[in-house]
Structure 1
Amino acid sequence: MKIYKTALVCLMTCAVAFFGCSCSLTDDSESSEPKRSSIIEKSVTTPSAQDVENDKDYADVKTDYAYETLTDDYVKELYMRIAKSVDTVYAPNITTTGSLSDYQITQAVEAYKNDHPETFWLKGSSLFVPYGDTTSVKLDYTVQNDKLIAAKKKFNIAVASVLKNLPSGNDFEREEYINNYIIDNCRYDEEAAENNDVQGNENDAYGALVDGKAVCEGYARAFQLLCNKANIDCVLLSGTADSDNHAWNGVKIGGDWYQIDVTWNDTDGENNYAENDYFNLTDDLMFKDHKLSYKYSELNSQTYLSVGTWCNFYVPKCTAEKYNYFNYKYPTVSDPDNADDVSQAVANAAKNGDEYFSIVVDKNTDFNYMYDRMMNDGYLYNWISEANEVNGYSPRLAESCYVYRKDELGVLTVELEYVD
């Protein structure tokens, strides 16, 4: 997603810089610092985090999306046999019906892993031997015996610790808490991303929640696991981003599906203006720089061999916009002459000590036109001044700041500065 950074002084535009916001399996993100000079204000604050209560039946949260996509009875049987054997402390040999191919076995194992991100120790299958009408499959674990017992204990404690502070609000509030927890407590594992020989827990939920470091797959599996525990439907999605293999999630919020990339939401303390830019996007927005790989249902044992990326099982259609991070949390402006709520939102953000606030430009208006009016016609300046008056100049916002223009999202994100 491309972002333009603008600095203003009084009502005159001074400098514009361009950079790409990106963060992938190898974290290729780059940034540049434009000249500083500036003003502009914000429109942030949550218009109502409690105005929508979801009426879903939380007992009906679905966690077998991958299994439900399977059409091969032999694959489904192996999936169920894995389910009965995967809690053993040693990687088991499983005998299942049919003379299975590598493609069928991969489907079964990966489907089980995708439905059960809590089985962090299940790496895959290491050996299979067809024998007549049966096949012997040896599962592959990352850790076994007493080490697995100890790892499970640590993992369960970590998960329980996260869920202990889970908010009791609606789907979005619980999702936001989970996203923020992972961002705040997990760092992107650069070494693992750049070295194929690293064999730790970087690809699973254990890495994200216990070790505190993971690559994209670990982020995505941890997010899926915690969402499911919080009674939110969530699936793993696989594909490429910036030409690298990548993993992210589909999540069902308020009855609709959205795409979310927790890895790319995590800016590691840098470029915080871009934090949560990949939070609850439509397919159209996510696919501007993410590309889904094939679904297993689209392949066969021959075509599977030519696919060089991870594959998908259930892929939801994501068209809803209501619970996009910015749409839900920040004011939307269609006419700056009738946007009194923005000043109050800025004032609330300042009271909270927020470093950033955002304004959503109504999608039915021209973004360039609205940007010009807010920046050059004094509206943002006025909103920040009015916010200072609302707060009695305590705290006081400075009349200078950076503004980040996010055309694809239709958002202006403002970096607030405070006067001591």
Structure 2
Amino acid sequence: MKIYKTALVCLMTCAVAFFGCSCSLLEDDSNESSVPVTTSEKSSTSVKTTSKPKPTEPCVYNEPKTDYAYSTLTDDYVKKLYNQISDNIDSEYEPSFYAEGNLSEYQMTQAVEAYKNDHPEVFWLKSYYEYENYDYETGIWLTYTMSGDKLVTAKKEFNTAVDTISKSVPYGTECEREEYIHNYIINNCDYDEEAAESEEVQGNENDAYGVFVDGKAVCEGYSKAFQILCNKADIDCIQLMGIVDSDNHVWNCVKIGGDWYQIDVTWDDVDDFIYDSHEYFNLTDSLMYEEHTLSPKYSEIDAESFLNLESWCNFYVPKCTAEKYNYHNYCYNYKYPTVSNLDDSDNVSTAIAKAAKNGEEYFVVIVDENVNYDDVYDEVRNGYMYDWLTKANQINSDSPKLNDTCNMLYDEKSNLITFQLEYIN
């Protein structure tokens, strides 16, 4: 993950804003295991001071909650500033305005970062800002990644891309929609290694525009794009901030079947993996925190502690303890058919037909652990594969049409047979 460090000379002090990476308080389900950490640099803002001027059942589509960060704010001045940002953010040029009260860097950073956390679609807003304290108010200068005609054009490109992708998400359960979005991002975005390793490369890698339009991004861009598409698909989703391998990192939490799960789309984008990786798909806290370290929440620190932090902070952090929709359990219990008797396996053709309708590249058959894996694999390769694919085409009336043969991947360790589906134009 790339972060930027910008230092400007200030008269009094330097305000810190975390450039780049970044559920309701009515329920006390915050993560009590949050661990404050220290890591690499954080960027700084300029300060001016003066004394004057369920998968087996159809899912009910509910409107997702998209103000999780805002719901954690307890300071009325911070809430007002958050709303002022919302009122001014559609300007084609970098806005400036006055906020009530003599605000501190800690307060302003919370407002800016909370807004960015809740609104990943506002790809042009930077974490970097400037402010000037007067007697009874504070002047705020927000900064953009682009402005004017360039921003107008970029918004159109961005909105078109998001609308197109959102319409491609197949109707199905929450987990099916979530997986489609996860796979879409991995298959259509490259991790920007150059930007991640050099501060000299500064583009759209930290925002969803990088994913949807440029096709390359770093972890923050991945997480924002995932959050946007999940919200479009009526799935609650938030971003989490933390440390991985001594670097700042951003990933997500999603609410599936009423429970929260952790997911890291960036870490599932593995180039040398034979098919889409789901190693970090819907994990519990305990599993994710084996390699990820969660940063503290704003509610856990005070203004003085904030100045000494070298990591980003979190807002809402749900507890993730459910295992039902962990990818392994999801596949074995809901997504893919289990075969124990090849003479009674018509359900496989039906499942392949559904996968083809969704345009999936891979399909998995689970071999019952009570039968001999090698025997089943050989029989599938020598006849059943052809039968299943042919029947799937009949079910779909050849729309789309699958080739009646395909590559099969052997995985005795997991009792899986993976088909690499081939489509005929």
In the alignment, the residues of structure 1 paired with residue 195 and residue 418 of structure 2 have an alpha-carbon distance, to the nearest angstrom, of 33
Aligned to 2:277: 275
Q: Name the CA distance, whole Å, in 1 between partners of 2:418 and 2:60.
A: 37
Identity, % of aligned positions: 51
TM-score (norm 1): 0.73
- The one of 43, 52, 58 equivalent to 1:53 is 58
**Aligned pair in 2 of structure 1 residues 91, 415: CA closer, same or farther (>3 Å)?**
same
Matched residues in 2 for 1:52 and 1:135: separation? 52
2:199 corresponds to which letter in structure 1?
Answer: N
2:82 corresponds to? 79
RMSD between superposed Cα atoms in Å:
3.3
Is the 1:188–1:213 contact (alpha carbons within 8 Å) kept by the matching residues of 2?
yes
Q: 1:204 to 1:360 in 2, by over 3 A?
A: farther
Change (3 A) 1:286 1:276: same
- Please give the alpha-carbon distance, in whole angstroms, between the structure 2 residues aligned to 1:417 and 1:226: 26
Contact preservation (8 Å) 1:203, 1:218 = yes
The 8 Å contact of residues 219 and 263 in structure 1, kept in 2 or not, is answered as yes
Which residue, 131, 134, 140 being the options, matches 1:131? 134
Pairwise mapping of residues 4-403 of structure 1 onto structure 2 (< 5 A)?
51-55=56-60, 58-59=62-63, 61-268=64-271, 270-272=272-274, 275-330=277-332, 340=341, 344=345, 357=364, 379-388=372-381, 391=384, 403=411
Q: Secondary structure at the match of 1:314?
A: coil
Partners of 1:291 and 1:358 lie apart in 2 by: 35
1:52–1:25 CA distance, 2 compared to 1 (3 A): farther
Cα deviation for residue 245 of structure 1 reads: 1.1
Whether the 8 Å contact between 2:205 and 2:218 is mirrored in structure 1 is: yes
One-letter identity of the residue aligned with 2:384: N
What's the CA shift for 1:242? 2.3
| Structure 2 residue identity aligned to 1:313 | F
SS in 2 for 1:302: helix
Aligned equivalents of 2:293 and 2:312: distance in 1?
12
Is this contact kept in 2: 1:326–1:358, CA < 8 A? Answer: no
What's the CA shift string for 1:348-384, capped at 9, x where partnerless? Answer: 69997976747699xxxxxxxxxxxx6xx97322332
Amino acid paired to 1:251: V
Q: Which amino acid aligns with 2:129?
A: S
**1:127-185: per-residue Cα shift (whole Å, max 9, x none)?**
11110121111101100111111110110111111012121112112111211111111
Distance 2:385 2:155 in 1: 53
Q: CA 1:206/1:381 → structure 2, altered by over 3 Å: closer, same or farther?
A: same
More deviation in 348-357 or 275-284?
348-357
Contact map agreement 1:347 1:387 (CA 8 A) in 2 = no
Alignment gaps of 5+ in structure 2: 4-53, 388-403
Offset at 1:191? 0.6
| Residues 401 and 205 of structure 1: CA distance in aligned 2, closer, same or farther (over 3 Å) | closer
Following superposition, the deviation at residue 199 of structure 1 comes to 1.4
The change in CA–CA distance for 1:274 and 1:228 in structure 2 (over 3 A counts) is closer
Which residue number in structure 2 is paired with residue 368 of structure 1? none
Query: How big is the shift at 1:121?
Result: 0.1
- Deviations 1:51-110 (Å, cap 9, x if unpaired)? 222235x13x21000000011111111001000001101111121111111111111000
TM-score relative to the length of structure 2? 0.73
Structure number with higher relative contact order (C-alpha < 8 Å, ≥ 6 residues apart): 1
Distance 2:88 2:106 in 1: 21
Secondary structure at the counterpart of residue 257 of structure 1:
strand
For the residue of structure 1 that corresponds to 2:142, the secondary structure is strand
* Cα 1:91/1:281, change in 2 over 3 Å: same
In structure 2, the CA distance between the partners of 1:360 and 1:288, relative to structure 1 (3 Å rule), is farther
CA gap of 1:345–1:379, structure 2 versus 1, over 3 A, is farther
Q: Select between 75-84 and 317-326 the one with higher mean Cα deviation.
A: 317-326
Of 246-255 and 300-309, deviating more is 300-309
